[in-house]
Structure 1
Amino acid sequence: MDWLDADGYTIGRLLVTRGLAALYVVAFLAALLQFRALIGERGILPVPQFLAHRSFRQAPSLFHWRYSDRVFTVVAATGLVLSAATLAGVTERLPLPACMGVWLLMWALYLSIVNVGQIWYSFGWESLLLEAGLLAVFLGDADTAPPFLVLILLRWLLFRLEFGAGLIKMRGDRCWRDLTCLYYHHETQPMPGPLSRHFHLLPNPLHRIEVAGNHVTQLVVPFGLFLPQPVAGIAATLMIVTQLWLVVSGNFAWLNWLTIVLALSVIPDGFYSRFADTAREYGSTPLPFTVAVVVLTVLVAVLSYWPVANMLSRRQAMNASFNKWHFVNTYGAFGTVTRTRREVIVEGTDDAVDTPATEWREYEFKGKPGDVYRRPRQYAPYHLRLDWLMWFAAISRDYAAGWFPRFVGKLLENDPDTLRLLRHNPFPDAPPRRIRARMFRYRFATRGERRATGQWWMREELWDFMLPMSREDLP
Structure 2
Amino acid sequence: MSWDWLIADDYWSSRLLFQRLLAALYLVAFASALNQFRVLLGQRGLLPVPEFVRRVPLRRSPSLFHLHYSDRSFRALAWTGIAVSGALLVGVADLLPVWGCLLLWALPWVLYLSIVNVGQVWYSFGWESLLLETGFLAIFLGPAHTGVPLLPLLLLLWVLFRVEFGAGLIKLRGDRCWRDLTCLYYHHETQPMPGPWSWHFHHLPRWAHRVEAGANHVAQLVVPFVLFAPQPAASVAAGVVIVTQGWLLLSGNFAWLNALTMTLAVPALDGALLGVPPPTDLAAPPTWYHAVVLAVTVLIVVLSYWPVRNLLGRGQLMNFSFNPLHLANTYGAFGTVTRDRYEVIVEGTDADAVGADTVWHEFEFKGKPGDPYRRPPQVAPYHLRLDWLLWFVALSPRYGGRWLPALVTRLLTGDPEVRALLRHDPFGGAAPTHVRARLFHYRFTTRAERAATRAWWVREPVGTVVRVCHLGTDGTPVPG
TM-score normalised by the shorter chain: which range applies? over 0.9
Which residue identity does 2:477 align to in structure 1?
A: L
Amino acid at match of 2:75: T
Query: 1:21, 1:86 within 8 Å by CA — same for their partners in 2?
Result: yes
The answer as to 2:207 corresponding to 1:205 is yes
1:38-81: CA deviations, max 9, x gaps?
00001100000111111110110001111000000011110110
Q: 1:187, 1:281 → 2: CA distance?
A: 53
Q: Is the 8 A contact 1:393 1:400 kept in 2?
A: yes
Q: Please name the residue that 2:259 is paired with.
A: 257
The sequence identity of aligned pairs, in percent, is 59
TM-aligned CA deviation for residue 142 of structure 1: 1.3
Work out which of the residue numbers 11, 14, 20 in structure 1 matches 2:13: 11
> How far did 1:463 drift?
1.0
Distance verdict in 2 for CA 1:216–1:47, change over 3 Å: same
Counterpart secondary structure, 2:289? helix
Structure 2 residue matching 1:470: 3-state secondary structure: strand
Give the Cα separation in 1 of the matches to 2:86 and 2:20.
9
Measure, in 2, the Cα distance between the counterparts of 1:158 and 1:429.
45
User: Which residue of structure 2 lines up, in the alignment, with residue 126 of structure 1?
Assistant: 128
Unaligned runs of 5+ in 2: none
Pick from 109, 112, 120 the counterpart of residue 110 of structure 1. 112
- Indicate conservation of the 8 Å contact 2:188/2:252, yes or no: yes
Q: Is the 8 A contact 2:256 2:383 kept in 1?
A: yes
Amino acid at match of 2:268: V
**Aligned counterparts of 1:218 and 1:260: Cα–Cα separation in 2:** 13
Contact 1:199 1:249 (8 Å CA) reproduced: yes
Give the AA of the match of 1:34.
Q
Contact 2:416 2:429 in 1 (8 A): no
Question: Could you tell me which residue of structure 2 aligns to residue 174 of structure 1?
Answer: 176
Is 1:376 equivalent to 2:376 in the alignment? yes
Q: Which residue of 2 aligns with 1:340?
A: 340
Query: 2: CA distance between counterparts of 1:401 and 1:113?
Result: 21
Cα pair 1:221 1:235 within 8 Å, conserved: yes
Deviation of 1:339 after TM superposition, in Å, equals 0.3
Q: Give how far 1:144 is off.
A: 1.3
Residues paired across the two proteins, number: 473
Find the counterpart in structure 1 of residue 311 from structure 2.
311
Displacement of 1:278? 4.0
State the SS of the aligned residue for 1:379. coil
**Structure-to-structure mapping, 1:56-67, within 5 angstroms:** 56-67=58-69
Partner of 1:281: 281
The residue identity in structure 2 corresponding to 1:313 is G
1:194 aligns with 2:196: yes
Q: Secondary structure at the match of 1:265?
A: helix
Q: CA deviation at 1:29?
A: 0.3
How far off is 1:283 after superposition? 1.6
Q: Which residue of 2 aligns with 1:32?
A: 34
Structure 1 unaligned regions, length at least 5: none
Alignment deviations for residues 85-126 of structure 1 (CA, whole Å, 9 cap, x no partner): 100111221111111101111100000000001000000000
Find out whether 1:394 has 2:394 as its counterpart: yes
Please give the alpha-carbon distance, in whole angstroms, between the structure 2 residues aligned to 1:168 and 1:117: 26
The one of 471, 474, 477 equivalent to 1:474 is 477
C-alpha displacement of 1:14:
0.6
User: How far apart, CA to CA, are the structure 2 residues paired with 1:7 and 1:65?
Assistant: 42
**Are 1:89 and 2:91 matched, yes or no?**
yes
What is the SS of the residue equivalent to 1:138? helix
Tell me how far 1:355 sits from its aligned partner: 2.6
- Under a length normalisation based on structure 1, what TM-score does the superposition of the two structures give? 0.98
- The superposition leaves residues 382-407 of structure 1 with CA deviations (integer Å, 9 ceiling, x where unpaired) of 00000000100000011112211111
Q: Which letter maps to 1:345? A: I
Contact 2:60 2:324 in 1 (8 A): yes
Match of 1:100 among 78, 85, 102: 102
Contact 2:414 2:429 in 1 (8 A): no
Q: Indicate if the aligned counterparts of 2:196 and 2:378 stay in contact, CA closer than 8 A.
A: yes
Report if the CA contact (8 A) 2:98-2:285 is conserved: no
State whether residues 245 and 258 of structure 2, in contact with CA within 8 Å, keep that contact through their aligned partners in structure 1: yes
Q: Which amino acid aligns with 1:474?
A: P
Residue 446 (structure 1) aligned with residue 449 (structure 2): no
Q: Is residue 272–residue 278 contact of structure 1 (8 Å, CA) maintained in 2? A: no
Q: Partner of 2:4: helix, strand, or coil?
A: coil
Residue 351 (structure 1) shift: 2.1
8 A contact 1:2–1:285 mirrored in 2 = no
Q: Is the 8 A contact 1:165 1:332 kept in 2?
A: yes
Partner amino acid, structure 2, of 1:425: D
